[in-house]
Structure 1
Amino acid sequence: MKMSPQQFLDWESKRITLLGMSGVGKTTLADKLPKQNWFHYSGDYRIGTQYLGEAILDNIKRRAMEVPFLRDLLRSDSIYIGNNITVNNLAPVSTFLGKLGNPALGGLSLAEFKRRQALHHQAEIAAMRDVPAFIEKASDIYGYRHFINDAGGSVCELDDPATLELLAEHTLILYIKTTPELEETLIERASRDPKPLYYREEFLDEQLAAFLAEKSYGGIDAIPPDEFVTWVFPRLFNSRLPRYQAIADQFGYTVDAREVARVENEADFVRLICQALSRA
């Protein structure tokens, strides 16, 4: 969706999609907007509760069944397992994605890892395609005036033009670009605390082959799971930046993380977007 600053100011029901790497400040920015006016739609929350909810629980139950004490209680329906996913706690989603590598260290086989990656890919597309319906629900059922779509960090990996076109049709797309300082921070953070991630299959195959050759591991089962995640993250990070920029160039607008960090309230947010529209 393209518009002038004045058109944006005159837009009675503002609808924004925030794009950018995980950790760049999308959720923090959304949380600064008045909750009585803005409906906060989290793509990752929708993925975890609607599209991967059963798969996440099955994974947890499978692990619980390995513990005799829990197995007996589960089989007798004496206990139940549930998710406690929130917008600010998406650990069950990342736990489901898992990490490649040595099963003795909690790693997954390549086939199982790719199966989960494919499920996440399908779920992320579905969650983004739900945005128009939730815009309608937010207004019609709950009475929210404005809508913000807090999209996941892997949206640029979808390779699904129809989904991006749908988002651009119904929302103004705002890409939050990292700064060199933030890039360094995010890469260092990922190295210190490697988390499961989504990878395009082509990217995964290419990087996995390079990793195995460089490290001389004999196969997937020999890989320490955290080592591959740490090794691949800077490469994933740098591969995503031009993808996000291409989306912004075609469908939306760009701001940088320094500008976003200065936003304290709704008025600041509106000014930020008007500045981005003016630059374009």
Structure 2
Amino acid sequence: MTLAKDFLEAKNKRITLLGMSGVGKTHLAKLIGEEGDWFHFSGDYRIGAKHLKEEIIANIANKMSSNNWLKVLLENKSISVNSQVTFDNLEPISAFLGKVGNPEEGGLPISEFIRRQSLFFEAEKKTMHEVPEFIAKSQAKGFSHFINDAGGSLCELEDPKLFKLLSANTLIIYIKTSKENEHALIERAKENPKPMYYNPVFFQRSIKNYLTENNLEYAAEISPDSFVSWVFPKLIEDRLKKYSKIANKYGCTIQSDDLHSCSSANDVIDLISSAL
């Protein structure tokens, strides 16, 4: 039997999606989920709803405490804080991650930024290690198939044991961006710079280079949005190499343009089987 035939005939299909945020992972998950027999496991949702929930709430409460009126209400328990993370609204996670730079522009001190990055890293690792557990739970609920909609920073975990675990339990599918798609992602980042997770080595190198190029002495002088816009093309270049390496070793690759041409779950299944 070929891998493609094995996948097509499998009674319990299990896949992990790999690729940049915005490349189409959630689009694929929603298309394939139209069959109604797929359990959609969102890595980012799990991170925000479980592993970082307390930190996210503490961050919101800390922001609210800067307002004296709200601070009193929080302290006497007249109001409480909660975080409403959903599959379609991950803003609480972004707000927690934040951006490094000038505090007058909403930037975080570099030490606090690195602390939050580290917490996110550990949360993502915990979440991905839970995939086998959630596969079992999904089957107990009557779902035949399972899709792990992982975050764009999955490639940054650099944990061979974890990738072996995911590969043993799921088919890892890398959604490779076209040059046009890469350009669109970069333009989107310039128009709306969003908080990101960065590999520590990549981040330290990038901060150093940004300071040098802009004749700045301290991270507190950095414009948060300007740094995100400047670093994003470099982040894509760095991650694309990591995605390819993981896919070549543990899974297969489909093209983002081909995925966006799919209009049904059957189209997606056929695309994956063709890649195999």
* TM-score with structure 1 setting the length: 0.96
Residues 129 and 162, structure 2, Cα contact 8 Å, conserved in 1: yes
The 5 A counterparts of 1:19-38 are: 19-33=18-32, 34=34, 36-38=36-38
Deviations 1:20-40, CA, capped at 9 Å, x for gaps: 000000001111122621100
Q: Which amino acid aligns with 1:191?
A: K
Question: Hey, what does 1:272 align to over in structure 2?
Answer: 271
Whole-angstrom CA distance in 1 between matches of 2:103 and 2:149: 34
Whole-angstrom CA distance in 1 between matches of 2:158 and 2:195: 20
Count residues with an aligned counterpart. Answer: 275
- Does 2:27 align with 1:5? no
Whole-angstrom CA distance in 2 between matches of 1:167 and 1:82: 32
Question: Hey, what does 1:228 align to over in structure 2?
Answer: 227
- Does 2:141 align with 1:123? no
Question: SS of 1:32's equivalent?
Answer: helix
The 5 A counterparts of 1:1-280 are: 4-33=3-32, 34=34, 36-140=36-140, 142-277=141-276
Residues 35 and 265, structure 2, Cα contact 8 Å, conserved in 1: no
Deviations 1:125-181, CA, capped at 9 Å, x for gaps: 1111110000000011x2111100000000011111111111000000100000010
Deviations 1:31-89, CA, capped at 9 Å, x for gaps: 11226211000000011111100001100000000011211111111111111111111
Question: SS of 2:174's equivalent?
Answer: strand
Per-residue deviation, 1:230:
0.8
Per-residue deviation, 1:5:
1.1
Per-residue deviation, 1:10:
1.5
Question: SS of 1:23's equivalent?
Answer: coil
Contiguous gaps of at least 5 residues in structure 1: none
Q: Which amino acid aligns with 1:75?
A: E
Root mean square deviation, CA, Å: 1.1
Deviations 1:180-233, CA, capped at 9 Å, x for gaps: 100000000001100000001100111110000000112011111111111111
Question: SS of 2:36's equivalent?
Answer: coil
* TM-score with structure 2 setting the length: 0.98
Q: Which amino acid aligns with 1:117?
A: Q
Contiguous gaps of at least 5 residues in structure 2: none
Per-residue deviation, 1:121:
0.5
Whole-angstrom CA distance in 2 between matches of 1:124 and 1:90: 14
Deviations 1:90-121, CA, capped at 9 Å, x for gaps: 01111101111111111111111110000011
Q: 1:209 to 1:3 in 2, by over 3 A?
A: farther
Per-residue deviation, 1:3:
6.0
Per-residue deviation, 1:263:
1.6
Q: 1:194 to 1:247 in 2, by over 3 A?
A: same
